[in-house]
Structure 1
Amino acid sequence: MITNISLISLWVRDLDEALEFYTSIMGFEPKDDITMGPDFRWVTVAHPAQPELQVHLTTPSKPLSDDLIAAMQRAQADGGLPGFGLAVDDCRKTYEELSAKGVEFIQPPEERPYGVEALMRDNSGNWMVLVESRDYTPEDFDGAEFG
């Protein structure tokens, strides 16, 4: 029986730069950094509040096809790959703190029916959503606009 999600993968441009970003800027802790043969390095980080969920930082590489690697690298260059969502206790404060550290934001904090949301990019161009959640009902979305 499945008990939980323990690992997610995130496509990055450069493992060292991504590791530095997620540990120094975002507050994650380094976990694994293992060279597995001449062409593969296994790198993971985890947030201290959720150490059971590791984020596998990986670059588009073999065994993917050359065409898929090239397409993913183009998507990374365009900032078109989604990352993941991050729960925050104060979206506006987190936005200010990360902005001061040079993090690029696509959208500043905005009120949504489900809370306060901001969109950022990591240093590989992945977009991430920061959400300060609040209770909501389906009716809270009536007439809501997202842009």
Structure 2
Amino acid sequence: MTVALQYINITVNDVDESIAFYADALGLEVRNDVPAGPYRWVTLGSDAQPGVDIVISVPHAGRSQADGDALQELLTKGVLPMLIFRADDLDATFERVRASGAEVLQEPIDQPWGPRDCAFRDPSGNTVRITQAPAA
């Protein structure tokens, strides 16, 4: 029996703003952008992981008003789980994301536990870390 990750959701305030960040700045590909009632089903992914898609949606998409409100509050506070991406050239990725105007939380540094990483906030305030494995 095989179990594999297929979708992971990122809650955002503005889908178009988030597409600009995740597709244009990070370099992910928009795989689907389909109307779903008053919302949209938008998925992004990378050729490096063809079977895994990121779904970006606003807090109230597919949720009750109360649940959407609660999720919006967590998003506003910046306390939703962080996202961690892997890059083969961290410094070039960092420069591309920084050039997009994203808020830099941490410039690239070598961590004592091995990887080199950096951190940003996406346009909705989610923490996005980017890591590169240490040279072998």
Q: TM-score range by the shorter chain?
A: 0.7 to 0.9
Kindly indicate whether residue 16 of structure 2 is the aligned counterpart of residue 16 of structure 1.
yes
Q: Is the 8 A contact 1:11 1:57 kept in 2?
A: yes
**Aligned ranges 1:28-43 → 2 under 5 Å:** 28-36=28-36, 38-43=37-42
Give unpaired runs (5+ residues) of structure 1.
Answer: 137-147
Could you say which structure has the higher strand fraction?
A: 2
Q: TM-score, normalised by structure 2?
A: 0.84
Q: CA deviation at 1:73?
A: 1.5
Aligned residue for 2:50, secondary structure, equals: coil
Task: Give the root-mean-square deviation of aligned CA atoms.
Answer: 2.2
Amino acid at match of 2:125: G
CA 1:132–1:66 in 2, change beyond 3 Å: closer, same or farther? same
Q: TM-score, normalised by structure 1?
A: 0.79
Matched residue, 1:107: 106
1:109-138 deviation per Cα after TM superposition (whole angstroms, max 9, x unaligned): 2221121121111111111111111289xx
> Hey, which bits of structure 1, 4+ residues long, moved more than 4 A?
none
Matched residue, 1:141: none
CA distance in 1, matches of 2:62, 2:47: 31
CA distance in 2, matches of 1:126, 1:34: 23
Give unpaired runs (5+ residues) of structure 2.
Answer: none
CA 1:62–1:31 in 2, change beyond 3 Å: closer, same or farther? closer
Greater radius of gyration (CA): 1
